[in-house]
Structure 1
């Protein structure tokens, strides 16, 4: 039976494709963004305890109150913004579900949504399923003066029309590792003030920021917080991407609409994980220690890549870094990534895969994304293979 697809251009993601190549070619997988090490034993013990204590039935739709209270305390401590646990915080099935629910709750047929690219791959399908129209604004690529991608806020302002409903932002940024500074929030404030534009801020890497820099959450600005879905994830902070537990902080009016969608998409999130995370996250060190933990891995992979023909770029945040392969090949990014996996047994992700038109010249800067959320032995083996190029 044939149906008229709502997502006719969507196929297997680049992560699925490259992870399959890792298996097919026995390659080291530095592509897909997940740790290859386990979470802390005390967190696992807390999950087991919750199960043994009978925390195995439906929790409330919005998430258990204890976990929402911990999130409220954490956000207020870090960013100075109080969110009411009862009406302004929702536990979701990962950040992806929070993003989908926020988009479906706010975007109507014909509404325009500004997407900054390169962008994470779940944004555009969510917009299309809601009947919205994605309007792409490309980041400025790295240069001799600035090794990081950056947003040209004048281009964002130019993209806004009377049909603009939503603006999706991501910092720390996947795939580039770029982070917002205070000037970025200043520029954003000047753009959205006196408008009805809603902002969705994907901040899942909020606790993975390096070199003593500070994450600039949109929750930290009153004028931004009052119009923003701030979305984060426990998967990134506890090395448990497979548990799919995230959360959304937003004003009560936005939260009310998000929960209407959330309750029919997943209804709620597994109870034992929520109880365990409530206890575990009450210890601030579980997330405040992450910058040092991951910076050591970032610096290790950076030093290793400097012993190859790759040119590693700086990475202010996330557990990814980009590297320039122009000393190795003139191939476009997707072809180079496939060649690298087949020929040298290391899987990376082409940055062009995060653009709406991956094959366009403006989407190809001879850059690939490495994930350094890996054990030292994994990074060592990958570096050794890359040194042979």
Structure 2
């Protein structure tokens, strides 16, 4: 006798009902169907350094990482992560107790929130936010409290944090601040003064902080990246997330990490071990070598992306968009109202037919959808000739 399935109850966990197919899947499929240039998803269209790729090949051939690596990550990579934090920021971490390797930054975010948040806890996140933040807070049973980065117009248009709004959002139920700088999708880099104020608030209200710093090496102009963990009282309460994908242009390898105090690392590892357990064995050895590359690599990488940013910003401006010039990441947020448009979803769904280019509506990154309605994001982590063709096509608007 066949057991009956109770179809009166939805299959999907109710915590995830608000999250359907991602806009990235929809727009990438639209790009394929229309033959459009995909400036929607944020992944490079070229591989990273040849020597790093060859390091992965060597590891495969030598049988390093082909079986389960250690749960916390291979010692070589944990040591390299600690050395990177010391060399770049003067932050000292013990590779054995204060570094954890993850399956990309996305798993690091998930494991941190699942470990540190309980049902009823409030988590403050800046909106617009990377879409996995909302889903991971929901899976942990937490309550998402958005604090909106507000557009500031003028000669140097940008999105900025209202520190008073952040302070007002903290309640007795607030457990954690989820910070992202450099910020996706706005391209904002929080200033040293803003980070100092966030740190003071976290210490004053005894809050944990998870800080997503995957674009740490992509800061432009006069901006600087300062880890939140470097501020007084923050090292022991901050989980810092890094990633090889954005820094070395090997996004498919899925190698990320966290650095934090031993108790927080142990908590996150307790959740992480029941997600992937381990991942990316041979690639961990390659990333360990990549992190030891000379400063000239990181400088050249940044300079190349800065030139591509300038190319796309100029093209979008000439095409009639309002442009928020990013000081970090590899995304440009634009305002479509100067083009006579107001609905980012409709604009992006029609753009492939109108101009042969795909972008992402920023409203998907907001709880307050109306606040993000007129904004659209383009990625510039593509080959120069691809960006030049995209700019030419967008000129038709």
TM-score (norm 2): 0.94
Alignment of 1:59-74 (within 5 A): 59-74=69-84
Alignment of 1:147-166 (within 5 A): 147-166=157-176
User: Is structure 2 residue 122 aligned with structure 1 residue 135?
Assistant: no
Aligned residue-pair number = 386
Q: 14, 23, 35: which one pairs with 2:23?
A: 14
User: Is structure 2 residue 344 aligned with structure 1 residue 333?
Assistant: yes
Change beyond 3 A, Cα 1:4–1:306: closer
Deviates more, 1:43-52 or 1:336-345: 336-345
Alignment of 1:260-275 (within 5 A): 260-275=270-285
Partner Cα separation in structure 1 for residue 289 and residue 12 of structure 2: 47
Alignment of 1:35-54 (within 5 A): 35-54=44-63
Aligned to 2:315: 304
Aligned to 2:250: 240
Partner Cα separation in structure 1 for residue 301 and residue 247 of structure 2: 7
Aligned to 1:284: 294
Partner Cα separation in structure 2 for residue 208 and residue 168 of structure 1: 20
Alpha-carbon displacement from aligned partner over 1:183-239 (angstroms, at most 9, x marks no partner):
111211221123331001010000000114210211221422221110011000111
CA positional deviation for 1:146: 5.2
Partner Cα separation in structure 1 for residue 298 and residue 102 of structure 2: 19
Asked whether the 8 Å contact 2:189–2:224 carries over to 1, the reply is no
Q: 361, 373, 378: which one pairs with 2:386?
A: 378
Asked whether the 8 Å contact 2:189–2:223 carries over to 1, the reply is no
Partner Cα separation in structure 2 for residue 279 and residue 180 of structure 1: 29
Alpha-carbon displacement from aligned partner over 1:1-37 (angstroms, at most 9, x marks no partner):
4435231111011111111110111111001000011
Aligned to 1:345: 356
Aligned to 1:171: 181
Q: 117, 126, 130: which one pairs with 1:120?
A: 130
Partner Cα separation in structure 2 for residue 207 and residue 39 of structure 1: 14
Change beyond 3 A, Cα 1:82–1:288: farther
Asked whether the 8 Å contact 2:104–2:255 carries over to 1, the reply is yes
Asked whether the 8 Å contact 1:320–1:371 carries over to 2, the reply is yes
Q: 185, 188, 191: which one pairs with 2:201?
A: 191
The answer for unaligned runs of 5 or more in structure 2 is none
The answer for unaligned runs of 5 or more in structure 1 is none
Asked whether the 8 Å contact 1:58–1:270 carries over to 2, the reply is no
Alpha-carbon displacement from aligned partner over 1:278-323 (angstroms, at most 9, x marks no partner):
1222113333432212111111112222332223221100011122
Partner Cα separation in structure 2 for residue 7 and residue 303 of structure 1: 39
Aligned to 1:58: 68
Aligned to 2:40: 31
TM-score (norm 1): 0.96
